[in-house]
Amino acid sequence: MQPSFWHEKWDAQQIGFHLSAVNPLLVQYWPQLQLAADSQVFVPLCGKSLDMCFLAEQGHGVIACELNDLAVSQFYQENNLPYSVDKVDEHQRYQTEQITIYQGDIFTLNRLDMENVSAFYDRAALIAWPDAMRLNYAKQLANLIPAGSVGLLITLDYPQSELNGPPFAVSDDWVMANMSDNFEIERLATNDVLSDNPRFIKKQVSSLTESVYKLTRRG
């Protein structure tokens, strides 16, 4: 997807991908990563997700990246978080006590800013990319994450021919074939979620599953 696509979505507030509550899968499966409370967690393509607040409430420092500046400013304002802004290389860096968001292109993010990260959380990033662009993102995620880091990845899978993304369909086969070189992969769960997603039912999508993975960066 071109950057203009996401900027237009945020400008029009067409943000059906934004959840108004913390993702229950994050709450359920995050403890399985067995992280120290003071671990730093990277959240790619974070939008204004309340999941960042949940991670901060666990004691974690959150380092995130988001393309759209409106999404970032709304996150801090809607959660009543005072913040400062400065410029770091090609990004605007928004900061509050536990949550730092680099506003800009994830592909120009400096891996040195991630050197203290030991975990990551991807609910809406991998599935935001069409197949032709997804592998480049997966490689950039691996490039940014220090060896030994553990993460939670959440994907959706459905017959791609039945609906245009985003979110795009990401199969278990794709994850295993394209991410196993850089990550040890453990699938924690796969659930049928079609009945919980009226948009997919309305578009006559025949099946929809949601999978949760634990990923560990090799190296």
C-alpha 53/C-alpha 80 separation (Å) is 11
Which helix (H) or strand (E) segment holds residue 103: the answer is strand 99-103
**Considering Cα of 22, then 20, then 69, then 170, what sign does the dihedral take?**
positive
Find all residues with CB under 8 Å of 75, minimum gap 6, and list them: 46, 47, 48, 49, 52, 81, 101
Helix (H) or strand (E) holding 76: helix 69-78
pTM to 2 decimal places: 0.94
Q: Which two tokens stand for residue 185?
A: 């992969």
Q: What distance in Å separates the CA atoms of residue 185 and residue 52, rounded to the nearest whole number?
A: 23
Nearest residue to 135 via CA among 182, 185, 166, 178: 178
Residue type, 41: V
Q: What's the pLDDT at 2?
A: 63
- Residue-level pLDDT, tens digit, the chain, 219 residues: 566 664 566 556 655 555 789 999 999 999 999 999 999 999 999 999 999 999 999 999 999 999 999 999 999 999 999 999 999 999 999 999 999 999 999 999 999 999 999 999 999 999 999 999 999 999 999 999 999 999 999 999 999 999 998 999 999 999 999 999 999 999 999 999 999 999 999 999 999 999 999 999 999
Of the candidates 7, 117, 103, which has an alpha carbon nearest to the alpha carbon of residue 55? 117
Of residues 38, 62, 36, 43, the one with CA closest to residue 152: 43
- pLDDT at position 148 is 98
